Chain A
Amino acid sequence: MAFFRAENISISFGGLKALNGVSFDVRKGEIFSVIGPNGAGKTTIFNCINRFYDLDEGAFVLEDHVISKIKPHEVAEMGIARTFQNIELFKNTTVLDNLILGRHRRRRSNVFTEILFSRSVQKQELESREKAEEIIDFLDLEAYREQRVINLPYGVQKTVELGRALAMDPKLLLLDEPSSGLNVEETEDLSFWMSDIKEELGITILLVEHNMRFVQQASDRILALDFGEIITQGNPKDVLNHPEVMKAYLGEEDVFTQS
């Protein structure tokens, strides 16, 4: 049984079909990648899952719950976390606060108990911090704990964003081009973490990526998109050697040099 399913999803912007009848299944515990040239509709899938856009047709199903009609903030409550292509951190606060914000969906307090900072709020704060410290430890962010995000180098910011998503204790993690802008070392760290996330934390990952070498290494299965339609899907080797995929990428010159 599929863990997460896209059923025949379509969306268009001003007459342009960004996604056209796309269906795929993500199995529990796997890393499933979506590839395709710029403008193929990869990030649009994420934005639709997060309900920033309304689907014209089709549905997303997570463990038998249809999640394409709920409110945007409820998506997180269903256990879906994500990162963003161009980093959307809360940049005027510290790394620690960003991570604790990931715990927001566990909030049990209300504004009245918070004004008094009651025992239960204190307990909740301690729990959030414990979780955040685990992540700081896991992602090696110790040195940056109290620093404001805006002052951090790009690569570290990307890591913080991954950490913030992990702090949510998600079932499904959506990563939007996690390796873009990273240097070789940082990319290696990333694939190391990703396999840990998969193996140790048991989190299913849906990945959108541009860096082919990285995708090939990391993914269990791949879906290739172009112009909002599926070219092919299956195991990494087959998909990457598929003639249509090669053609879609050759049309765009800088793809293999970009990493």
Chain B
Amino acid sequence: MKTDYNEDIRLFKYRSTFFWYLALVIGCLILPLLLDEYLISQLTFICMYAVAAVGLMLLTGYTGQISIGHAAFFAIGSYTSAILTAKGVPFILALPAAGILAGFVGVIIGRPILHLTGLYLAIATMGFAFIVDEILVRWESLTQGNMGFYVDPPSIGPFIIDTELRYYYLTLVVLILTLFAARNILRSPTGRAMIAIRDSEVAAEAMGINLAKFKTIAFAVSAFFAGVAGSLYAHKLFFINPESYTILLSIELLAMIIIGGLGSLHGAVFGAVFFIFLPQVIIMTKDYMPVYIQNQTGLEPALFGLLIVLVMLFEPMGIYGRWLKTKFYFEMFPLYKKDSFKREKKYQKAERH
């Protein structure tokens, strides 16, 4: 019988895991020194979207509640931060405030709609995003409507974050803190309650889990991270208007976590990398294509769409699923059997009307 559980609750179960992550962080710190400004800004976008994706992963990947409305929380975060800093509030306070307000709105709208299931919840959140977008356009005294809003580069005390490199480090720190927070939630009762709700609502309730409460918590935490990401986004672009926060952003975030691999924090980060880097790769391959196609504006989205389809056809469990299989392959080499991960394809047995 096991008697010491301290090792079970450590953040990294094995010492080696810790060193791998340490190496990764050091790599992330050194990497930009080798890249030009443009690529550094792409890394910044990866960190930013990864923060939002981690938030959505907690809600959709772990709690099983689909949201197609996270662009709204992203937008609320952007505008809160932009307006606060314009009024002279320091960035270091505006950033968490953006998250907190987004989380608060999450609680308010989460309460009445979180008893909806699956598809119905997805559509209700989508409607919420449309409504928020319209409010941003119409509430001109606050948001300056479609004219847009100019945002200053952030500063922390006397230190102004005005180069690509500095901004990258800022977003990287926020991403690491986000991952820490998410990991901590997941290894605590709240995280387990979320997973329980995803896997069986009836059993969760019979265990004493208050469904409304924990769904709302998941929604609020998820909105918080989306808001923080929104704040980072605003201060990166220096200019925001409602057009940046359409339904497409919501769909992209959702696609990000599914392509990355639902139900894992790795997946959220993988998804963000996929979504930012793939278009870059497509641009790079452009030179090798016929001139007529090269000059088409539709080329990148077309290839992007095609690649999404191909990735999902190749690996329906997402990039993280493929990652696990690859890892397993090397660990088991040369004993790996091709059928190790073969799953039975199932007919849907559910009675539907």
In the complex they form, whether A and B have CB atoms below 8 Å apart is answered with yes
- Is A52 among interface residues, defined by CB-CB distance under 8 A? yes
A15 to chain B, nearest CB (A): 20
Taking a contact as CB atoms under 8 Å apart, the answer to whether A73 and B195 are in contact is no
Kindly provide the distance from the CB of B337 to the nearest chain A CB, expressed in whole angstroms.
16
Q: How far is the CA of A136 from the CA of B209 in the complex (A)?
A: 22
- Contact of B217 (CB < 8 Å), options: A97, A103, A111: A111
The reply to whether A126 and B203 contact each other, CB–CB distance below 8 Å, is: no
B170-205 near A? 1/0 per residue, CB < 8 Å: 000000000001001101111111011011101111
B5 at the interface (CB under 8 A from A): yes
B287 adjacent to chain A (CB < 8 Å): no
Which B residues touch A124, using CB under 8 A? 189
B11, closest chain A residue (CB): A117
- Contact of B205 (CB < 8 Å), options: A50, A130, A133: A50
In whole angstroms, how far apart are the Cα atoms of A121 and B191 in the complex? 13
Which A-chain residue is minimally distant from B217 (CB atoms)?
A111
> B104 to nearest A CB, angstroms?
14
Chain B residue numbers with a CB within 8 Å of A3 are: none
Interface string of A73-96 (1 = CB under 8 A from B): 111110001101000111111000
B331 at the interface (CB under 8 A from A): no
A residues 91-121 touching B (CB-CB < 8 Å): 91-93, 97, 100-105, 107, 109, 111, 114-117, 121
Q: How distant is the Cα of A74 from the Cα of B187 in the complex, in angstroms?
A: 24
Q: Is B106 an interface residue (CB 8 A)?
A: no
A125 — which chain B residues lie within 8 A by C-beta? 5, 9, 187-188
Number of interface residues of B (CB under 8 A): 36
Q: When the two chains form the complex, which single residue of A84, A114, A129, A168 contacts B8, counting CB atoms closer than 8 Å?
A: A129
Taking residues whose C-beta sits less than 8 angstroms from the other chain, chain A's interface range is 35 or more
Is B189's CB under 8 angstroms from A104's CB?
A: yes
Q: CA of A82 to CA of B210 in the docked complex: distance in angstroms?
A: 16
Is B342 interfacial (CB-CB < 8 Å)?
A: no
| A71, CB-defined interface residue at 8 Å | yes
Residue of B nearest to A77 (CB): B208
**B200–A88 contact, CB under 8 A?**
yes
Contact between A92 and B195, CB atoms less than 8 A apart: yes
Report the minimum CB–CB distance from A36 to chain B (whole Å).
Answer: 22
Which chain A residue lies CB-closest to B220?
A111
Q: Does A122 contact B (CB under 8 A)?
A: yes
Known A109-B189, A126-B9; contact A89-B200, beta-carbon cutoff 8 A: yes
B206 CB–A CB distance under 8 Å: yes
Is B332 in contact with chain A by the CB < 8 A criterion?
no
CA distance A84 to B210 in the complex (A): 19
**B207 lies within 8 A of chain A by Cβ:** yes
How close is B102's CB to chain A, nearest CB, in angstroms?
A: 16
Contacts A88-B200, A104-B192 known; A111 to B185 CB distance under 8 Å? yes
A115-B181, A130-B5 given; A50·B206 CB < 8 A: yes
A109 touches B192 (CB 8 A): no
Contacts of B206 in A (CB 8 A): 50, 72, 75-76, 81-82, 84, 88
Q: Which 3 A-B pairs have the closest CB atoms?
A: A76-B208, A114-B188, A88-B203
Task: Supply 24 A–B pairs (Cβ within 8 Å), ascending by A.
Answer: A50-B206, A72-B206, A73-B208, A75-B208, A81-B206, A84-B202, A84-B203, A88-B200, A88-B203, A90-B195, A92-B195, A92-B198, A93-B195, A97-B195, A103-B189, A105-B208, A109-B188, A114-B184, A114-B190, A116-B184, A117-B11, A129-B5, A129-B9, A137-B1
